[in-house]
Amino acid sequence: MPELPEVEIVRRGLQRHVTGRTVDTVQLLHPRAVRRHLPGPDDFAAAISGRTITGARRRGKYLWLPVGDDAVLAHLGMSGQLLVGDPARPLSSHVRARFTFRDGGPDLRFTDQRTFGHLAIAPGGAELPAAISHIAPDPLEPGFDLTALTARLRARRTGIKRALLDQSLVSGIGNIYADEALWHSRLHWARPSETLTRGQITRLFAAVEQVFTDALDAGGTSFDSLYVDVNGQSGYFERSLAVYGRAGQPCRRCGTPVRRDPFMNRSSYSCPTCQPRPRRARW
């Protein structure tokens, strides 16, 4: 599942390739792609045709394209891709929606093999769509408030990794980057959040920011070959992962084999030496 860096790379591509362009037609090839748009596919197409995209924005793993006061809101789900290319190229069977532009240039295609992603129109949502206003700012947003978040974390009674994944506390962090940031800051994933010092939380979020920045520089992590940028290119950050997906391989800091624990139907990867299990654990 794409996390913040992968979605940010898609946002940058959209910013470069569709900003300032006027939509000509919208073809919806699979109604599931707009299932969250209750007035239906025809309404979706009619509402966007003829409108000019004025930017590309993101909060956490959501993207939106402002059109006037409204916006087209997108979530890539497990396998969604937003691809820009020659409008004459063949239409693959996974294309769910296609936007053409009045300038006759590259079109925009939403493809989604597993159909967990979706598109919707957010009326009045150019600044921040109402459907995602409950999602907390992500660590790369100017509105991210580490002091307020620190107070909330220290008031919670939960494990730190579960808190990192809670999109109402902080958005955009998923399983991969949570494990990486915890390893960088030498914290075990089950550490009770109320026992963390302010300094530890500050170092943890500095690590989150660093891991995100490094992943952006590498074009993101291509964990399952479905994540690509708007030009269909995949990133190579998985080569730099310290613990995620490396069970049994040596810790890049101390050489101890990386440990994998079951966690919320998934896994947590950590180093038993650098990240000792806390006496009291919460998950």
Tokens of 217: 């520089």
User: If binding is defined by CB under 5 A, does position 274 make contact with Zn ion?
Assistant: yes
Marked catalytic residue, from 11, 58, 59, 61: 61
* Residues 201-240, mask of contacts with Zn ion (x by CB under 5 A): ----------------------------------------
User: If binding is defined by CB under 5 A, does position 200 make contact with Zn ion?
Assistant: no
Nearer to Zn ion, 30 or 252 (CB): 252
Q: Is 248 exposed, middle or buried (0-12, 13-18, 19+ CB in 10 A)?
A: exposed
Nearer to Zn ion, 62 or 269 (CB): 269
Q: What is the DSSP string of 207-255?
A: HHHHHHHHHHHTT---SSS----TTS----GGGG-SSTT-TTSBPTTT-
Task: Tell whether the torsion through CA atoms of 173, 210, 1 and 39 is positive or negative.
Answer: positive
**Cβ-contact 132, 59 below 8 angstroms:** yes
User: If binding is defined by CB under 5 A, does position 271 make contact with Zn ion?
Assistant: yes
Cα–Cα distance for residue pair 27/221, rounded to 1 Å = 30
2 catalytic residue (yes or no): yes
A 10 A CB-CB count for 5 gives 26
User: If binding is defined by CB under 5 A, does position 247 make contact with Zn ion?
Assistant: no
Provide, rounded to whole angstroms, the least separation between the CB of residue 83 and Zn ion.
39
3 catalytic residue (yes or no): yes
User: If binding is defined by CB under 5 A, does position 253 make contact with Zn ion?
Assistant: yes
Footprint on residues 143-162 left by Zn ion (CB under 5 A): none
Catalytic residues: 2-3, 61, 266
Binding residues (CB under 5 A) for Zn ion: these are 251, 253-254, 256, 271, 273-274
